[in-house]
Homo-oligomer: A and B are copies of this chain.
Amino acid sequence: MPNDSRQHPNADVRMRGFAERISTDAAFAWLNAELDRQGRLPLEVVALDGAAGRVLAEKVTSKVNVPDFQRAMMDGYALRAEDIAAASSQTPIEIEVLANCFPGKSFDGTVGPGQAVRIMTGAPLPAGVDSVLPVELTRTIDQRVSAIASLPAGKNLGSVGEDVGCGDHLLSPGRVLRPQDIGLLFSIGRSHVSVVRRPRVRIVVTGDELLPAGAQPQGNRIVDANGPMLLALVARDGGVPNHPGIVADNPEAILAAISEDADVILTSGGSSVGQEDHVPTLLAKHGQLAVHGVAMRPAGPIGMGVLNDRLVILLPGNPVACLWGYDLLAGHAIRQLGGRGADWPYRKYVGRLTRDLVSPVGRLDYVRVAISEGNVTPVTSSGASVLSSTTRADGFLVIPTETEGYAAAADVEVFLYD
């Protein structure tokens, strides 16, 4: 644990400011060690038709051939190639059509020399033939069909197991299931699949100044923006959020909320070192407050720890800090517990910075930016309480801890919010 010394297990330590903040590297070192310790969540078996986007938890091997029969790959005539070896548009060779052969319905007779069966794409190949002559290479006059070209034996046939062979290894654990994966799994006869259970995330929003989402702001109270924002973020990252409402700003209510059954607890508000910041104190007393205060802006007052063997992440109440703290640490944890990659779900964009950006060495900075015609311009309002700055922004860039910033006209990498 990098900073057990920063725990403050009694209420005397109040409004003292953060004596010291650990680096984001140290914060990630603790978090990744904790995620390694927990491992990914156990699997669950779900119906395949709701499994797109889920993370596969099994190795999929086929127990069947797809198809399990030889089939026509074109609409045309199933015949023996040798019978029409001399056919051309100048010297058409007439063929005797015995029957029609449709997908799913086999022709039970045998096709003899000079004979053929009219066959549709996907239909099983009758006995006695070796090729399918496409309809485009035939001519029909008065019900009499002639081949106007030859073809090699075996042409336009799909073989047994052409798509999937019995025993083929198809998909590996960790795969985020794609639409075509779902189709393939159904095609080999699957109806259910083992996937990583989605992390259940309890969102604990505190603050007596907050009105519940859906209310009108009034007087000295503001409406909770963080709860609904975190709900959407958790769902985006493959978690199952649970946010039953604002939690009263007292130790008993908060302790009860952060003790509820979940895979991850996210708190919003009361994460700092002020008199009403109960969450760090409670976590230190009843569990472990491993990280409290990280050298970054915004979201410096973020905390992390463990309670009842569950990961708890303390997000600041300022909505911009809440968003950034979520994206940097909480989303990382939720995606990993659910078996997903650590990478942000944001697309990247490289553009030219329109003005200098300065950041002290030793602190990581999150900078909202607007993009216009390849130019990247920091969004002017930078207060951590100005949520509208994150909706005006097209994305953000990160100034790493060891970097002093970027000069105007530098090419910078932006993560897009769209």
- Beta-carbon contact of A75 and B15 below 8 Å: yes
- Is A176 an interface position by the 8 A CB rule? yes
Cβ of A188 under 8 Å from chain B: yes
Q: Is the CB of B275 within 8 A of A222?
A: no
Distance A236 CA – B177 CA, assembled complex (angstroms): 12
Nearest B residue to A162, CB-CB? B386
Indicate if the CB atoms of B121 and A318 lie closer than 8 Å: yes
Distance between Cα atoms of A17 and B149 in the complex (Å): 15
Does A418 sit at the interface, judged by CB under 8 A? Answer: yes
Known A-B contacts A17-B136, A236-B179; A191 and B214 likewise in contact (beta carbons under 8 Å)? yes
- What distance in Å separates the Cβ of A388 from its nearest Cβ neighbour in chain B? 5
Asked if A344 is at the interface of the complex by the 8 Å CB criterion, the answer is: no
Across the interface, which residues of B come within 8 angstroms of A208, CB to CB?
A: 102-105
Residue among A75, A123, A162 with the highest chain B CB neighbour number at 10 A: A75
- Once the chains are docked, how many angstroms separate the CA of A168 from the CA of B391? 13
**Number of contacting residues on A, CB 8 A?**
95
In the complex formed, the residue of B with least CB distance to A320 is: B180
Q: A15 to chain B: which residues have CB within 8 Å?
A: 75-76, 118, 135
Cβ-neighbour of A122 out of B118, B183, B317 (below 8 A): B317
Report yes or no: B223 in contact with A186, Cβ–Cβ below 8 A: yes
Residues on B with C-beta less than 8 A from A26 are none
What is the 8 Å Cβ interface bit string for chain A, positions 226-245, against chain B (1 contact, 0 not)? Answer: 10111111011000000000
Q: Tell me the residues in window 150-197 of chain A with beta carbons closer than 8 Å to chain B beta carbons.
A: 158, 162-164, 168, 170-171, 176, 178-184, 186-189, 191
The answer, yes or no, to whether A224 is at the interface (CB within 8 Å) is: yes
Interface residue from B229, B274, B388 paired with A182 (Cβ < 8 Å)? B229
Assess A222 versus B102: contact at CB under 8 Å? Given A170-B391, A179-B232, A347-B347: no
Stretch at the interface among A30-38, A63-71, A405-413: A63-71
Check if B163 sits within 8 Å of A387, measured CB to CB. yes
**A184 x B216 contact (CB < 8 A):** no
Give Cα A222 to B134, complex, Å: 23
Is A129 in the interface zone, CB < 8 Å from B? Answer: no
B383 touches A222 (CB 8 A): no
Closest to A136 in B: B17
Shortest Cβ distance from A34 into chain B, in angstroms? 24
> What is the CB-to-nearest-CB distance from A70 to chain B, in angstroms, rounded to a whole number?
10
Residues of chain B lying within 8 A (CB to CB) of residue A223:
186-189
A323 to B178, CA, bound (A): 11
Residues of B close to A176: CB separation below 8 A: 418
Within the complex, the shortest CB–CB distance from A31 to chain B, in Å, comes to 21
Q: Determine if A120 and B179 form an interchain contact, defined as CB atoms under 8 angstroms apart.
A: no
The answer to whether B104 touches A179 (Cβ under 8 A) is: no
Closest A-B pairs by Cβ, 4 of them: A104-B209, A103-B209, A183-B225, A183-B229
Q: List 14 A-B contacts (CB under 8 A).
A: A67-B222, A73-B383, A104-B209, A104-B220, A105-B220, A120-B274, A121-B318, A179-B230, A179-B233, A180-B390, A183-B226, A183-B228, A184-B391, A187-B217
* Residues in A lying within 8 Å of B, measured CB to CB: 15-17, 48-49, 52, 64, 66-69, 73, 75-76, 100, 102-106, 118, 120-124, 134-136, 158, 162-164, 168, 170-171, 176, 178-184, 186-189, 191, 207-210, 213-226, 228-233, 235-236, 249, 272-276, 317-319, 323, 347, 383, 385-388, 390-391, 417-418
